[in-house]
Structure 1
Amino acid sequence: MSDEEFRSLVLKELSDIRRDVAQTQQMTADLIRIVGNTNGMLEEAQQDIDVMKRNIDVIKQDIDIVKQEQKRMSDIQEQQGRVLEMLSYRSLAHDADIRDLRRVR
């Protein structure tokens, strides 16, 4: 192989290497851009998750309030049921007394 052929071969290989390096640099730049975009999307998703966590906390508080109100209403309803039962008993007793008084006359 002559010096000229060797030189030509080396220059071709060097050219191929430079092309490969340029492609690698382009792919690296593309990957860096993709990673940057992915990081941005991840940050947005994390912010959305944080907002959802805060909303869940508010919903939990609201549920606790509703449970307390439901318990209070249930207690009131139970108390009113006892009062109605007592009033019903008194009403029946009064009706019986009235019938007895009417018979006495």
Structure 2
Amino acid sequence: MLVGYVDSDTTGDVDSRTSISGFLMTFAGGDVSWQSKLQKCVALSTTEAEYIAITEGCKKALWMRRFLEELGLHQKKYLVFSDSQSAIHLSKNFSFHSSENGADMMTKTS
């Protein structure tokens, strides 16, 4: 099964004030893809930075799933883990906090 682990570092780059997103993708018990990079926008909260990291991790997991299908390794689902309960809640119920609406716009433009 394809499994992803995501996190963000809100201290990130002190000069630009951007957070860092990171992810690790595993398949069949082995690491297959990983990345750590500055986010393309300045997050206004820790929840927003974590939500952006989850979004990037899910985009990569979806790409990896399609790639595995091209190889004949069909995956019905994939898992993405995060340690941020607030970002997980936000991803399940986007209207839970009105000030987070900017994250939706930022993740679609980045």
Normalised TM-score (structure 2): 0.26
In terms of fraction of residues, the more helix-rich structure is: 1
Flag the structure with more relative contact order, 1 or 2, with Cα contacts below 8 A and sequence separation at least 6. 2
Structure ranking higher in strand proportion = 2
